[in-house]
C-alpha cells in the first residue's frame, strides 16, 4: 500500500474498476485516508462503498454505545445483543467493514473530533461528518481549511426520507473530457459558514426548499441547545415561529419553506434504509471523484427527497466563488 505502484494482489482485486477509471485513479485511491465521524445508516453505506472501492484507510470516530435504535438503518449492527454489548458504534462498524475488503485498513479513533488539534487532521485526504451540530460543522470545516495540505470536507445529514450533502474542496482541479481532448477544470468552494451566510433572497427562485428547511431546523437545534435530531413534532409550533422570523429577516416568502416539510424533518428522527443507500452512494461517489480527479464534483450542496424522487445540486456560494 505504501509503494508507488499497485501490488499484484491489488491489481487483481480491483481489476474491474481499474478498467473503468484507470490504474492512476486506483493508485490514488489506495493512498488516500478518510476520517469519518457521526456514524449513521447513511455513513455506513458511504463507508461500505469506499472500502469496496479500495481506499487506503478509513478511520471511524463515534464513542456512543450501541443501542436498539442504532440498529434501525445500520446494517453492520446485528440484532444479537451479545455481539455488541459494551461496544461503541465505531467498534462494531469497524469489525463489519473489515470483512468487506481486508486490504483496506479500518480503525477506530476514540474521542470527540472537534477537540483534536489541527495536526491530527494532516494525515487525512478527506473528513466526513455525519449528523452533527451547526457549530461543529463550522469548526471542523475551518480546521480542514487551515491545514497546509488540502483536506476535503463533507457533511451529510439524513432525516426521515430526506438527505443533504455539503461539499468543500477548497480550490480544486480535475480533468474533464471534451470531445477529443482532456481539459483541466478549476473550482473554488465556499466554506460551510460562508455558504449558509449567503442571503436567501440572492438564491434562485427555484432553489431547493429542503435547503431552507434544513437551515431552519439547524438554527432551532442550535438555539435550543439540542443534539441534532433531538426534535419531535411537539417542536413544530416553535419551529414555525422561527421560520417566520427568518423569512422576514431574509426577505423571502414563507411559502419557500412548506410547513409539511418542516413537520417531516422534525418527526422523522429515524433514517430510512433506502434513502441511506441513495445518499451514502452519492457521497461515496463524490469522495472517489475527489481522490481520483475524474468526473464533475458536486458544488456544493446535494439534496434528495423521496417524495419527488429527485436529486438536486445547488451551488450556494459567495459571489467571488460562484
pLDDT tier for residue 301 given thresholds of 50, 70 and 90: very high
CA angle 291, 317, 21 (to 5 degrees): 20
**pLDDT value, residue 5:** 82
CA contacts within 13 A on the Cβ side of 71? 10
CA angle 281, 43, 133 (to 5 degrees): 125
The residue that leads in pLDDT, 80 or 30, is 30
pLDDT tier for residue 303 given thresholds of 50, 70 and 90: very high
Q: What is the mean pLDDT of the chain?
A: 92
Please state the rounded mean pLDDT for residues 13-32: 91
Q: Give 281-299 pLDDT, tens digit per residue.
A: 999 999 999 999 888 999 9
Quick check: 115 pLDDT over 80? yes
d(CA 307, CA 161): 8
Exposed/middle/buried for residue 119 (C-beta within 10 Å: 0-12, 13-18, 19+) = exposed
Please state the rounded mean pLDDT for residues 75-89: 82
d(CA 104, CA 53): 9
**pLDDT value, residue 77:** 85
Q: Give 144-169 pLDDT, tens digit per residue.
A: 999 999 999 999 999 889 999 999 99
Helix (H, G, I), strand (E, B) or coil at 111: coil
Of 82-86, 124-128, 229-233, which gets the smallest average pLDDT?
Answer: 82-86
Residue 268: partners with Cβ closer than 8 Å, 6 or more residues away: 159, 160, 161, 162
Q: Give 100-112 pLDDT, tens digit per residue.
A: 999 999 999 999 9
Beta strands in the chain (DSSP E): 33-37, 57-61, 105-108, 126-129, 152-159, 162-168, 171-178, 181-188, 301-305, 310-314
d(CA 188, CA 170): 6
Nearest to 85 by CA among 72, 97, 100, 68: 68
Please state the rounded mean pLDDT for residues 77-96: 85
Residue 320: partners with Cβ closer than 8 Å, 6 or more residues away: 188
The residue that leads in pLDDT, 84 or 114, is 114
pTM of the model: 0.94
Please state the rounded mean pLDDT for residues 125-142: 95
Query: What separation in angstroms does the CA of 204 have from each of 47, 93, 210, 218, 252?
Result: 33, 40, 14, 21, 11
**pLDDT value, residue 122:** 97
Residue 64: partners with Cβ closer than 8 Å, 6 or more residues away: 70, 88, 89
**pLDDT value, residue 1:** 40
pLDDT tier for residue 2 given thresholds of 50, 70 and 90: very low
Q: Give 43-79 pLDDT, tens digit per residue.
A: 999 999 999 999 999 999 999 988 777 777 888 888 7
- The cell numbers describing 308, all together, are 419527488
Amino acid at each position: 500500500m505504501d509503494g508507488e505502484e499497485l501490488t499484484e494482489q491489488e491489481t487483481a482485486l480491483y481489476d474491474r474498476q481499474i478498467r473503468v477509471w484507470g490504474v492512476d485513479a486506483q493508485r490514488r485511491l489506495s493512498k488516500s485516508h478518510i476520517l469519518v465521524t457521526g456514524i449513521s445508516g447513511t455513513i455506513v453505506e458511504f463507508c461500505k462503498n469506499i472500502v469496496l472501492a479500495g481506499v487506503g484507510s478509513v478511520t471511524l470516530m463515534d464513542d456512543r454505545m450501541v443501542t436498539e435504535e442504532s440498529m434501525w438503518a445500520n446494517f453492520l449492527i446485528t440484532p444479537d445483543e451479545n455481539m455488541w454489548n459494551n461496544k461503541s458504534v465505531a467498534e462494531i462498524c469497524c469489525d463489519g467493514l473489515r470483512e468487506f475488503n481486508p486490504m483496506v485498513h479500518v480503525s477506530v479513533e476514540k474521542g470527540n473530533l472537534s477537540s483534536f488539534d489541527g495536526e491530527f487532521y494532516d494525515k487525512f485526504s478527506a473528513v466526513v461528518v455525519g449528523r452533527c451540530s451547526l457549530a461543529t460543522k463550522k469548526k471542523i470545516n475551518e480546521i480542514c481549511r487551515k491545514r497546509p495540505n488540502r483536506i476535503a470536507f463533507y457533511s451529510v445529514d439524513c432525516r426521515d426520507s430526506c438527505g443533504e450533502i455539503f461539499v468543500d474542496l477548497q480550490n480544486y482541479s480535475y480533468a474533464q473530457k471534451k470531445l477529443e481532448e482532456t481539459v483541466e477544470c478549476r473550482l473554488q468552494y465556499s466554506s460551510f459558514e460562508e455558504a449558509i451566510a449567503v442571503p436567501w433572497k440572492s438564491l434562485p427562485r427555484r432553489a431547493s426548499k429542503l435547503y431552507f428547511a434544513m437551515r431552519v431546523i439547524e438554527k432551532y437545534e442550535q438555539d435550543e441547545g439540542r443534539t441534532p435530531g433531538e426534535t419531535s413534532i411537539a417542536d413544530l409550533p416553535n419551529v414555525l415561529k422561527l421560520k417566520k422570523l427568518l423569512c422576514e429577516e431574509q426577505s423571502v416568502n414563507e411559502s419557500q419553506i412548506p410547513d409539511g416539510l418542516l413537520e417531516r424533518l422534525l418527526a422523522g428522527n429515524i433514517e430510512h434504509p433506502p434513502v441511506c443507500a441513495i445518499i451514502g452512494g452519492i457521497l461515496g461517489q463524490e469522495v472517489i471523484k475527489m481522490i481520483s480527479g475524474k468526473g464533475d464534483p458536486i458544488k456544493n450542496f446535494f439534496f434528495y427527497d423521496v417524495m419527488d424522487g429527485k436529486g438536486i445540486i445547488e451551488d450556494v456560494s459567495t459571489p467571488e466563488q460562484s
